[in-house]
Amino acid sequence: MELREHIDELMPRARADLADLVAIRSVADPRQFPPAECERAANWVVDNFAQVGFTGLGLHETSDGSKAVFGVRPGTDPSAPTVLLYAHYDVQPPLDEKAWRTPPFELTTVNGRWYGRGAADCKGNIVMHLTALRALGPDVPVNLKLIVEGSEEQGTGGLEDFVTRNPDLLRADAILVCDTGNAAVGLPAATVTLRGLVNVVVEVQSLGGELHSGMFGGAAPDALAALIQILSTLRDRAGNTTIAGLENEQTWLGAPYPPIQFRADAGLIDEARLLGDGTVSDMIWARPAVTVLGIDCPPVVGSAAAIQPLARARLNLRVPPGTDAVKAQDALIAQLHAAAPWGVRVSVTPEALGQPFEARTGGPAYEALASAMRTAYGREMTTLGQGGSIPLCNVFADTYPDAEIVLMGVEEPQALIHAPNESVAPSEIANLALAEALFLQRYRR
């Protein structure tokens, strides 16, 4: 196929593009990295999409201070539908750089995969867009719009607010949200559901200050032990999330996630058991899941024989489709207060909230994508859930109720997004670039 051959020829350039992007430390947190790095990434996007025919490209400041790149490219057929291409140029921080086997901001090839922070999430998707458009050249029948945001990983809502304030600017018939991925390398999929999220910080106080554990231990309440007891009520012995008023027996009706594959993808140690009473698909796509993201308490090294007066934890609750995130937040906060032992003082600060999402499928965009994926991969496209959250999808759905929202991308499980040693399979960039190019050729209203 001529188009596939063209993409194969473009893959060295795709690697060079990704190397340039990965080298830009675009973490959208000025406490950790200079804001100028994000601006560098945004300008890189402007420069490179100008080369594939986009005009009116510019940086639009959003309400959280981040800058989104927007541009347009008219199609060869004025009556053709409009497709909005989405990605984000900001990345997660590298976390513990000692845990990386390769430099996090230097694209490195190991065993055929390309390693580096953002290689998959989401700079790999930016490169996928570019590769598809370079392969098509001037022959793009649909009208295109581009939006690449700069604070997705921070969850501060800059682009969500921008969409609601500028609805006509981003209006489209189909929206390709390229920030998810396939079930595995070589297994094409569209993501059709996303869990929402609730983030809170819970603080427990029991004393006015630290006390000697020998002199006061046994009668004086320990804030850290109280916090541990509160957190223990959020899961049962099987690992099911147990929050009063929150259903936890939903089932997933789509493609299954084989336990053996999940164990390998997650890197479970041999002795570790899978959590919950449901299938893997049930637990990660259809049911709520609470995670303790962090705890403020004394580290082991340097700790004293003292009763702790204060302890805090940051919690993340994933909310499945069919459950309202506000009600889930209320239920979580109520349980944290109700579970407090010994009369300790508990305060809970909401930090972030996003509703779950379920795509409307079966329209011409999904039909065109299924056809394109079948050609690109040589097998049928499946549909998946996604345990992560993309609140922007709900904003798109509310603002453009007639648009088809398609979630796809290069971020399959081996990519280890948000973790050390993030990587991308070059074949996923190539196959998805081909699928996107074919989609843009085949999509009609």
Which positions are catalytic? 90, 152
Q: How far apart are CA 179 and CA 408, in angstroms?
A: 6
Region at 245 (left for phi over 0; alpha for psi -120 to 50; beta for the rest): left
Alpha helices for 83-191 (secondary structure H): 123-136, 158-165, 167-170
3-class DSSP assignment, residue 253: coil
**DSSP class of residue 97?**
G
Region at 60 (left for phi over 0; alpha for psi -120 to 50; beta for the rest): beta
Contacts of 50 (CB under 8 A, 6+ apart): 57, 71
Q: How far apart are CA 167 and CA 84, in angstroms?
A: 13
At 70, give phi and psi (nearest 5°).
-130, 145
Q: How far apart are CA 171 and CA 188, in angstroms?
A: 27
Q: 281 vs 116, 186, 193, 252, 384, CA distance in Å?
A: 29, 19, 12, 6, 9
Q: How far apart are CA 176 and CA 53, in angstroms?
A: 18
Alpha helices for 23-142 (secondary structure H): 35-50, 123-136
Q: How far apart are CA 314 and CA 321, in angstroms?
A: 23
Q: How far apart are CA 226 and CA 336, in angstroms?
A: 11
Both structure tokens of 204 = 């427990």
CB of 59 within 8 A of CB of 68?
A: yes
Q: Which helix (H) or strand (E) holds 435?
A: helix 426-442
